[in-house]
Amino acid sequence: MENILDRFLRYVAVDTKADPTSETQPSAARELDLLKMLCQELNAMGVKATIDEYGYVMGSIPSNCDKDIPAVGFIAHADTAPDAPGNDVKPQIIENYDGSDIPLKGVPGLSLKPSEFPELLNYKGQTIITTDGTTLLGADDKAGIAEIMNAVQYIVEHPEFKHGEIKVGFTPDEEIGRGVVKFDVEKFGAKYAYTMDGGQIGEIEYENFNAAAASIHIQGCNVHPGTAKGKMKNATLIGMELHGMLPVDQRPEYTSGYEGFYHLIGFKGEVETADFTYIIRDHDMDLYEAKKAFIQKCVDFINAKYGEGTATLDLKHQYYNMRKQVEPHYHIVEKAMKAIEMAGITPKVQPIRGGTDGANLSFMGLPCPNIFAGGHNFHGKMEYLPLQSMEKASEVILNIISLYAE
């Protein structure tokens, strides 16, 4: 049986960065490299699996019980975030972590420091996987994939392990909000499912942000600066003026818990044109709608001041808070909590300050809470993953399956 670390390292070696500028599904052909690999691995283990034209991998393990047990699914996404490089990943393996700074050897002077990331100290004595400082690691969500595949291999190799029908799903493009837009829930065949896409050990989540993406284009007027008076409209400065209207205290770096935000994720500008891209988030639906309305109000103000057509807003909804879809089936959350406790871990029920495929799946008729995958500092070069957290997550999967089979 391949150990979970070696499996994870194989997966992160495959570049699967999503492309938010693409309209294809999946957004980048490179995502298929891992998705096809996973389909082949499932079939090689004796699990009937397919991959469709959109990149969705679906596998099924028949029940070995004579009881009526609902089919349960486990889902993870293969793509990585476009926020940092995802190619040529060089993981560092830190065994028996002693609590000191961890140099990220690909960038001289760069280190993971407990003074900046105090959660590191929770993993003293454990094995920690980090980046080398030049790329992200890809634990979001290749840790989830490795945990599911590890559990599948255990089930296949232990026929005495009792279970109902088990469904496995791997998706592309979760990181750009399109992870399940063409996912066939009926074909998948699960009554309930869990995404293995959470953060630190113990987390379980069934609430997430309502989410939108906003792109603002500023059209300026470039005139020679010597004769610019009353004529020039500097698109970059106008865009900065608009950005300055958004509340400073509603940025990610100043919010936590249920507090929403506007997050500037990209800017490109010169005198003639400028483009600003944002993500907008809030758990509360009314506050979410108010945030969308306010950014439109800012655009309207700019157009009133500088002329119609100066600012153009493209506002796209991404996903809704899954809570109202999951709560009527709260027993699936309770089973996950018990499964986490069975692994010797204290469950941490909390809202997701982000989103998962499970949010959209829940609105598509497949209630789908989110369980920890074990990583920290996702989407950046400071990402790290304690090995023991990944091992525990795979154990939790098996515990959930056992609880449904009782």
For CA atoms 339, 342, 343, 347, the dihedral sign is positive
Q: Which of helix, strand or coil describes residue 21?
A: coil
Contact in structure between 179 and 208 (CB atoms under 8 Å): no
Contact in structure between 274 and 235 (CB atoms under 8 Å): yes
Would residue 391 show up in a list of annotated catalytic residues for this protein? no
Contact in structure between 370 and 350 (CB atoms under 8 Å): no
Q: Which of 79, 132, 147, 175 is catalytic?
A: 79
Which residues are within 8 A (CB) of 203 and not within 5 positions of it... i.e. 6 or more apart?
348, 350, 370, 371, 372
Measured torsion, CA atoms of residues 182, 186, 188, 191, in degrees rounded to the nearest 10: 130
Distances (CA, A) of 9 to 3, 14, 90, 256: 10, 9, 9, 32
Q: Which of 15, 132, 165, 174 is catalytic?
A: 174
- Specify the pairing of strand 72-77 against strand 192-198: parallel
- Specify the pairing of strand 210-219 against strand 273-282: antiparallel
| For the chain, the helix, strand and coil percentages under 3-state DSSP, each to the nearest 5 | 35, 25, 40
The candidate with the shortest Cα–Cα distance to 214, out of 297, 283, 143, 132, is 297
**Apex CA 195: angle with CA 191 and CA 199, to 5°?**
155
What's CA 359's distance to the chain center, in Å? 11
The candidate with the shortest Cα–Cα distance to 360, out of 77, 143, 8, 167, is 77
The values of phi and psi at residue 195, to 5°, are: -90, 135
Would residue 79 show up in a list of annotated catalytic residues for this protein? yes
Residue 88: how many CA atoms within 13 Å on its side-chain side? 4
Active site amino acids: 79, 174
